[in-house]
Structure 1
Amino acid sequence: MKTGRYDNAIADYLGRLGEGGVVQRFGKTLHLGYDFAQELRYGENPHQAGALYGDFSAVAEQLHGKELSYNNILDARYAMLLMKDFLEDELPVVSILKHTTPCGVAAASTLLEAFNAAFKTDPESPFGGIVICNKIWDLVLAMRVNEMFTEVLIAPDYTPEALALLRKKKDRRLIRWHPQAMNLDFDYRGVPNGMLVQEYDTAVEIVRMGQVVTTRPPTTEEHASLSFVWKVAKAARSNAVVFGSGTRTFAIGSGSPARVGAVHVARDTAKHLGISLVGTVLASEAMFPFRDGVDQVAAAGATAIVQPGGSKRDDEVIAAANEHDMAMIFTHYRHFRH
């Protein structure tokens, strides 16, 4: 087996040599030498077989609970990719995810305050979801989360008291996260008869350095809010928009076929939950192709937008923002997530 891997590694390296011996990013062959890790109870659904290969446990060390399922591992992947962008934040940050997409994210002076703020975004969706944080999980947060049903909890570490309490529920999966062990060189996705390969989306733009395209620039408070929701929008499934203010989300619309549809989803959810979006800002992970999305964002009461730009109708979109006296920033970076 080791000889075969060695031969494959040599073949892949030689296949990457271009003219003049320059190493290319993608070679003529691809051999993924992952070891079998475990057979899963099933795949995404009970009628599908599933297995795990590689060293995922080096990144996600399971401390307690039932064996991780296929969906648990998939959810954990996206939870860690989201929180990776908040690891260096001074404030504690908590995110709640369901079906690989965030349903609430917040930062606050304590983990408990951050969790409660994230939970307010959508109290109906966290049931059976994943909770992840960027700091050591303490007893106060453990007591709060222990009141609800969660599938997986993820943190860089846990206090002994928190771990003792959380272990009392035998089925709950507890994960110690080792972000420094994450290999984020290439992202692989299988297709019939082949494999798609791309670099991981590790870009983190400084929103304040973006291009202000409207007559009115964002205020200091809007800049801070836009920076926060931009990170969250990057982690949501396309098409995605995120309303927020300060260091918390207020409404998230994701997975919509239409950009304006994502705005409608977020607004309708907020209305259903009695959440006012007046005075919030909005991030869109990809461009607004038409002005209708901006009109709807303004109608919701938001005052500023951050988006990549790049639409053929950017002039119309900017004009709409100006008509509503909104501030708008173009980052010139798109973050599709399919």
Structure 2
Amino acid sequence: MSDVKEVKRALISVSDKSGLVEFASKLADQGVEIISTGGTARKLKENDIPHKEVSEITSFPEILGGRVKTLHPYIHVGILAKEDEEHKKQLEEHGISYIDLVAINLYPFEETVSKPDVTMDDALENIDIGGPTMIRASAKNWPRVSIVVDPGNYSDILKELDNHGGIRESVRKELALKAFQHTNYYDSVIVDYLSKNIDDKETDTGEDDAEVFKEKDSIEFFNKTSLRYGENPHQNAAFYHTEDVDLRMHQGKELSFNNLNDTEAALNLVKEFTDPCVVAVKHTNPCGVGVSDDLLTAYRKAYDSDPVSIFGGIVALNRPCSEEVAEAITEIFVEVVIAPQYSREALEVFKKKPDIRVLETDYGREGTKLDIKPLTWGYICQEKDNKTASVKTWEQKTGGNLSEDKMKDLEIAYKVVKHVKSNAIVLVKDGQTVGVGAGQMKRVGSADIAIKEAGEKAKGSVMASDAFFPFNDTVQQGVDAGVSAIVQPGGSKRDEDSIKLAEENNIAMFFTGTRHFKH
């Protein structure tokens, strides 16, 4: 059996008609018989491209307003038939011809339901039936049939025909995989819409839970980009993203697994802040955070937080990057810079350091709602920790009124500690992290690291903990270091011990009621 399959007969029925005329015209020029339907057939007719309508093949008209047109044995037998003698015999008996190529894309369901005034009737009418059926039939029979669901692949098909006289096996197989991914994603969008819009659903976990977690679910991964390597050079890696990804790379070396993972950590933290903020990340932990009235000062604060760890790290900005900020960043080597926008002058500055990866993305993008981790037995999924710190909701347990600046430092500290690997302790002073203790098995260990890193800057700083203090030993460390205020979730059986120690040492202590473990 030949690796290359000729294309003598093609069925084309597309909702997205971009590239259709050129593609169909060149197929016709090569002697390919084209079968088409509805609006696609009208488009071909308008451009004088030879074709037959499906009703000519089936001797049955399109009915129910177009709901039924390709669901017919003369179509599906032509797609599903193999090249063995038994199938050939049956095709001859019934007067059916093989279909070698199918070009389909589906009704715009996702586009339709994204409209604010969409009705359930609108949604249902845009659930494609014949399209997915033909796609799946074609993809199942990829050893003979080529299935094209993306207009971006039209040129690839034409090159195959020009260079090989048909479609090679490797290409057909790749197209089939893409086809199944396409229908899988299409169905997942329908499931997501219906799960949110069926009024009579009942669930013990509440409506919000039902929208996030389903009895059966699928995760769509497509548009693969190969990465430089994984966590280590001996590990291969790839980045799978959705079709509407808005991550733009202005310059720099090929991205690695660690680059993207660390960049995600930096981006999630910097988006917590409304004031100008710069975050430096190393191995997914923030090593420096600066908040100020202007971005350059914020960068200087982030740099001064830990001038050693920022080297080779990730820098995230929550404001457009100006020329002066770019000049400051390029005084050292960083792996990645990410910002919502760059001035033309800033990009020119970065060109002097071509190895720095300069990324741009839309900071208003919501992103995925789930945090997913692989296990030996499957995956565990949770909603992302999107609860943002607000001093207005905290309960003050000790101390008097604090200055506005001190309260702002407490809020910064609690926003940062949320993004530090547990157990986590963060010290902040004057809008700047001065000590970050991350990932220790005991909380006092994290406090030791943060206090040692801060040095003299610990005096007068504020301390944040991602979880409650099971004992008052960490509070004692804060007392000894000279911290002026502490924020923690509270909830320990020994809370009173920590409160008492803070009160005795004139340290203001706040309970948030929200834990932020990060494992």
TM-score where L is the length of structure 2: 0.60
Show the counterpart of 2:270: 83
Q: 1:41 aligns with which of 217, 228, 239?
A: 228
The partner residue of 1:96 within 280, 293, 298 is 280
1:21 to 201, 208, 213: 201
Q: Distance in 1 between matches of 2:503 and 2:287?
A: 30
TM-aligned CA distance change 1:147 to 1:8, over 3 Å: closer
Give the conservation status (yes or no) of the 8 Å contact 1:9–1:31: no
The DSSP-based 3-state class of the residue aligned with 2:450 is: helix
Q: Aligned partners of 2:433, 2:483: CA distance in 1, in Å?
A: 13
Q: Given the alignment, which residue of 491, 494, 519 partners 1:310?
A: 491
Instruction: Pick which of 53-62 and 127-136 moved more.
Output: 53-62
Structure 1 position 27, deviation (Å): 1.5
Residues 110, 12 of structure 1: CA spacing in aligned structure 2 closer, same or farther, 3 A cutoff? Answer: closer
Task: Tell me the residue number matched to 1:234.
Answer: 418
Matches within 5 A, 1:1-338: 1=180, 2-7=182-187, 21-22=201-202, 24=210, 25-55=212-242, 58-86=245-273, 88-89=274-275, 92-271=276-455, 275-338=456-519
Amino acid at match of 1:264: D
Contact 2:277 2:289 in 1 (8 A): yes
C-alpha distance in 2 between matches for 1:130 and 1:69: 13
Query: Which amino acid counterpart does residue 390 of structure 2 have in structure 1?
Result: I
Do the aligned residues in 1 keep the contact of 2:434 with 2:453 (CA within 8 Å)? no
Structure with greater Cα Rg:
2
Q: Is the contact between residue 429 and residue 457 of structure 2 (CA under 8 Å) also seen in structure 1?
A: no
**Pairwise CA distance, 1:13:** 7.7
Q: Aligned equivalents of 1:142 and 1:175: distance in 2?
A: 13
Gaps of 5+ in 2: 1-179
Report the CA distance between 1:57 and its aligned residue: 7.9
CA-CA distance at 1:29 after TM superposition: 1.4
Gaps of at least 5 residues in structure 1 are none
Using a 3 Å threshold, how does the CA distance of structure 1 residues 298 and 290 change in structure 2: closer, same or farther? same
Shift of 1:61: 1.5
Deviation at 1:140, TM superposition (A): 1.0
CA distance in 1, matches of 2:346, 2:440: 38
* Structure-2 separation of matches of 1:60 and 1:298: 45
Question: Which range moved further: 279-288 or 148-157?
Answer: 279-288
Partners of 2:223 and 2:243 within 8 A in 1: no
Count matched residues.
332
* Cα distance per residue 1:67-100 (max 9 Å; x no partner): 21100000011011001111x32xx211111111
Determine helix, strand or coil for the equivalent of 2:254: coil
Distance (Å, rounded) in 2 between the aligned partners of 1:102 and 1:58 = 25
TM-score normalised to structure 1 length: 0.91
Question: How well do the aligned residues superpose, as a CA RMSD in angstroms?
Answer: 2.3
3-state SS of paired residue (1:287): coil
- Which whole-Å CA distance do the structure 1 matches of 2:188 and 2:460 have between them? 57
Which structure has more helix as a fraction of its residues? 2
Deviation digits for residues 144-196 of structure 1 (CA, Å, limit 9, x no counterpart)? 11111110001111111111110222211001121223314212111112111
1: distance between equivalents of 2:247 and 2:238?
16
Determine what percentage of the aligned residue pairs are the same residue: 39
What is the one-letter code of the residue matched to 1:311? S
Q: Which structure shows the higher strand fraction?
A: 1
Which amino acid is the alignment partner of residue 517 of structure 2? F
Question: Which segment is superposed worse, 16-25 or 100-109?
Answer: 16-25
Q: Residue 241 and residue 332 in structure 1: after superposition, are their counterparts in 2 closer, same or farther (change >3 A)? A: same
